[in-house]
Chains A and B, each alone.
Chain A
Amino acid sequence: DAGITQSPRHKVTETGTPVTLRCHQTENHRYMYWYRQDPGHGLRLIHYSYGVKDTDKGEVSDGYSVSRSKTEDFLLTLESATSSQTSVYFCAISRLAGVNNEQFFGPGTRLTVL
């Protein structure tokens, strides 16, 4: 299994509080991604990174920011959590982009915003 960990695995927080989710990889893969998964919507890309300090927005980036200061870590921050951000968040990594963009996923973080 690809070495990807996510922390925390579960979190309950209140509306308006900041939340940071961490993704850590031991594979030295260049690309890292944050997705959210919701019933009826499937997996939707929030942000992704193509290198240290190089990030770009995905399909549902509003209300989220990311940072990547080291190859192995990709942080997702909810500056002021809202109930609509209750979801399961997955981090993924890939060695290549384009045709060979085969992704390996972490175990997920279940976030509940009350």
Chain B
Amino acid sequence: TQLLEQSPQFLSIQEGENLTVYCNSSSVFSSLQWYRQEPGEGPVLLVTVVTGGEVKKLKRLTFQFGDARKDSSLHITAAQPGDTGLYLCAGVAGNTPLVFGKGTRLSVIA
């Protein structure tokens, strides 16, 4: 069973600060996805990373897939209140179903 550990579980920061959240596993994944979920809604896909060492940017969000494809990070620059939400990583290994981490709950205070 592949497990994805996310850290930290909770993060509360002031507007304008930078932050990084992590997604780690002992298993190798074919690809890794990041989702954001707002209260009362379903998760929304932000990005998929496929190649070891890959870096993708989405405005102020930077996603990185570890060289060994066992971990990933999400860095947010100059966080804004609109970034508040639950950030979930999810991994694909072969043709097995997607495995989700438990998420990092981010609160950005104005």
Residues of A within 8 A of B (CB): 33, 35, 40-45, 48, 58, 90, 92, 97-108
A105 engages B42 (CB within 8 Å): yes
Contact check: which of B40, B43, B94 meets A43 at CB < 8 Å? B43
A108 engages B41 (CB within 8 Å): yes
Chain A residues whose CB sits within 8 angstroms of the CB of B88 once the complex forms: 42-43
Q: Decide yes or no whether B98 CB sits under 8 A from chain A.
A: yes
Chain A contact residues, majority secondary structure: mixed
19 other A-B residue contacts (CB within 8 Å) besides A42-B100, A99-B31, A107-B41: A35-B100, A41-B102, A43-B43, A43-B90, A43-B100, A45-B98, A58-B97, A90-B43, A97-B95, A98-B30, A99-B30, A99-B92, A101-B92, A101-B98, A102-B33, A104-B45, A105-B42, A107-B40, A108-B40
Q: How far is the CA of A42 from the CA of B23 in the complex (A)?
A: 14
**Closest B residue by C-beta to A108:** B42
Residues 30-44 of B, flagged 1 when their CB comes within 8 A of A and 0 if not, give 110100000011111
Contact check: which of A35, A40, A58, A102 meets B48 at CB < 8 Å? A102
- Contact A106 to B97, CB < 8 A, known contacts A41-B102, A99-B31: no
Q: How far is the CA of A102 from the CA of B46 in the complex (A)?
A: 10
B50 engages A40 (CB within 8 Å): no
Residues of B within 8 A of A (CB): 30-31, 33, 40-45, 48, 50, 88, 90, 92, 94-95, 97-98, 100-103
How many CB-defined contacts (below 8 Å) exist between A and B?
56
Q: How far is the CA of A99 from the CA of B103 in the complex (A)?
A: 21
Chain B residues whose CB sits within 8 angstroms of the CB of A58 once the complex forms: 97
Chain A residues whose CB sits within 8 angstroms of the CB of B40 once the complex forms: 107-108
B97 engages A33 (CB within 8 Å): yes
Chain A nearest CB from B87 CB (Å) reads: 11
